Chain A
Amino acid sequence: MLSVDIEKRLGAFSIAVTFETAAGATALFGPSGSGKTSIVSMIGGLLAPDRGRIALGDDVLFDSSARINVPAHRRRIGTVFQEGRLFPHMTVAQNLDYGRWMSRVSVDPAERARIIDMLNIGALLKRRPGHLSGGERQRVAFGRALLMKPRLLLLDEPVASLDRARKLEILPYLARLRDEARVPMIYVSHQAGEIQRLCSQVVRIDDGHVLATGGLELLDVDGRPAGSPQRVIS
C-alpha cells in the first residue's frame, strides 16, 4: 500500500525510516519527540525529505533520485491533526465541503449524509468551530478529511488533546471509520491503548528510526530502554 523510505535532517535531529503498510490501519507508535509528526508531514507533502522515496501503491509521491515531489494539494491524502485545524472563519458545513471543493471530487449527497451521520455532526453544520467542544471539533476534522475522498488517511494524534471522556467518545467513531470508510489509515500515537482498539499493524519509532514493524505485540514497551540494539530489525 504505502511504502516509505526517507531521510531527513532537522537541525541536530535526524530521521531515517523505512517501512511499508498493508491495507487497514497502521500505527506509528513511539514516544513524543521521536519524529512521528515529521514522518507524517513528509507523507502528506508538507515537509520534503532530504533523500528517499514515498509511494502510495504505484503512485510515486516523492522520489529524490527522480526529482519527483508531488505537492501536498495534489496528493489527495486526508490529514487529521492533533488540534483539528478547522477554519475558524467558516461554518462546520463549509469546513466539511472545503476539501471536496478544492480537490474537485464529486461526493454523492447520500455519501455526504452518511459520513455526517456516522460522525454524528449533523446538528453542528451551521455553527462555527469556535463554538464546538474539542470532541466535536475532531469529529468535524475527520469528516472534512473523509469528504475529499482521500486515498490515505493520516491521523496525527487525533485524540491526544482531548480528555479521557472525550477520547472514549471519539474512538468508536474511528473504529467505524476504519470499518465503513475502508480508507487505509496511518494512526500516529504514543498511547498503546488507542492503537490496540484501532490498528492491526504497528511501526515502532524511536529517535527518528524504525525499531520494529509487526503486529500489536510491539506495543509492549516492557521497561527496556527504547533503542536497545536487540530490538532493532530494520
Chain B
Amino acid sequence: MFELSAEEWTAVELSLRIAVVATFAALPFGLAIAWVLARKDFWGKALLDGIVHLPLVLPPVVTGYLLLITFGRKGLVGGFLADTFGIVFSFRWTGAALACGVMGFPLLVRAIRLSFEAIDRRLEDAASTLGANRLWVFFTVTLPLALPGVIAGMVLCFAKALGEFGATITFVSNIPGETQTLSAAIYTFTQIPGGDVAALRLVVVAVVLALVALIASEWFARRAGLRYHGE
C-alpha cells in the first residue's frame, strides 16, 4: 500500500526533473531582470515589472494558453525555435519546464530583487575603487551578499514549479511519462475509480518534498547569512 507503482515513480521523477530544470533555467534571467529592476531607472520599468508579475495574478490556465499560442509548434516563438534550433516545447517535458519556470519567475525575481536592494551599495563602490569592473563587482560582491535572497527565490520557484498544474496541463497536456507531473498524476488518480490510494501516496510524497525543500533552503540561507557575521 505504501509502495509507489512504476507509473507513480515516473510522475515523481518527472516532477523533480521539471522543477529543477525550470528553476535553474529561470535563474540567469531572474538575476538579470532583478538587477535591472533594483538598480536601473528607465522608461517602461513599471511595464516590465508588471509583465514579470503577470503569471502571479493571471489564472494559470490563461498563462498556459498564452504559452501555447506563443511557444506551440505554430506559435511565433515556438515555430522559430523548432525550425531553427530544433527545440520543441509543445507536449514535451521541456514545455512543462517552461510553463513551471514562467509560473515561478515572479517569485524568483521578487526575492532576488529585494536582496539586491538591501545590499549596501557603498561596498560596491569600494570594490570599484579597488579595481573591479562592473561584472567583477557583481560576481564578487553583489551576488555573494545577495545569496540568501537568491536561494530563497530559487526555493520558492522550485516549490511553485513542483506544484504547478493549470499552466502546465493547458500548455503540454497530461501525458504519462512525458508531461504528467505529480500534480497532474494526483488529479488523474482522483478522476478514476479506485485511484484514491494512489493519489494519497502521491500526496504524501508531495508533502515530504515540500518540507525537505523548505528545510534545505532554511539551512542554506542560514549558512550564507552566518558567513557575513563571521562565524
Interface residues of A (CB under 8 A from B): 44-46, 71-79, 81, 83, 85, 87-89, 98-99, 102-104, 127-131, 144-145, 148
Contact = CB atoms under 8 A, between A and B. Distances in A.
A102 B228 contact: no
B227 interface: yes
Nearest to B143: A89
Contacts of B141: 87
B207 interface: no
Nearest to B133: A73
Shortest 5 CB-CB distances between A and B: which pairs? Answer: A103-B131, A128-B230, A130-B230, A99-B130, A102-B131
A156 B133 CA distance: 22
Contacts of A72: 125, 128-129
A81 B123 CA distance: 10
B127 interface: yes
A127 B230 contact: yes
A85 B124 CA distance: 9
Contacts of A81: 122, 126
Contact of B128 (A46, A78, A83, A104): A46
Nearest to B144: A89
Contact of A130 (B130, B132, B136, B229): B229
Given A74-B131, A88-B145, 13 more contacts: A45-B128, A72-B128, A73-B131, A76-B131, A78-B129, A81-B122, A81-B126, A87-B141, A103-B130, A128-B228, A131-B230, A145-B130, A148-B130
B140 A77 contact: no
Contacts of B144: 89
A47 B110 CA distance: 29
A72 B128 CA distance: 6
Interface string B6-28: 00000000000000000000000
Interface string B189-231: 0000000000000000000000000000000000000011110
Secondary structure of the B contact surface, majority rule: helix
A129 B230 contact: yes
Contacts of B129: 44-46, 72-73, 75, 77-79, 145
16 contacts: A46-B128, A71-B133, A73-B131, A76-B131, A81-B122, A85-B125, A85-B126, A87-B123, A87-B126, A88-B229, A99-B130, A102-B136, A104-B131, A127-B230, A128-B227, A148-B131
B230 to A, nearest CB: 3
Contacts of B136: 102
Nearest to B131: A103
B145 A98 contact: no
A217 to B, nearest CB: 32
A78 to B, nearest CB: 7
A78 B130 CA distance: 7
B230 A99 contact: no
Contacts of B126: 79, 81, 85, 87
B140 to A, nearest CB: 7
A46 B132 CA distance: 13
B108 to A, nearest CB: 22
Given A89-B227, A129-B230, A98 B125 contact: no
Contacts of B130: 73, 78, 98-99, 102-103, 144-145, 148
Contacts of A99: 130-131
Contact of B127 (A75, A102, A128, A129): A102
A71 B128 contact: yes
B212 to A, nearest CB: 27
A24 to B, nearest CB: 21
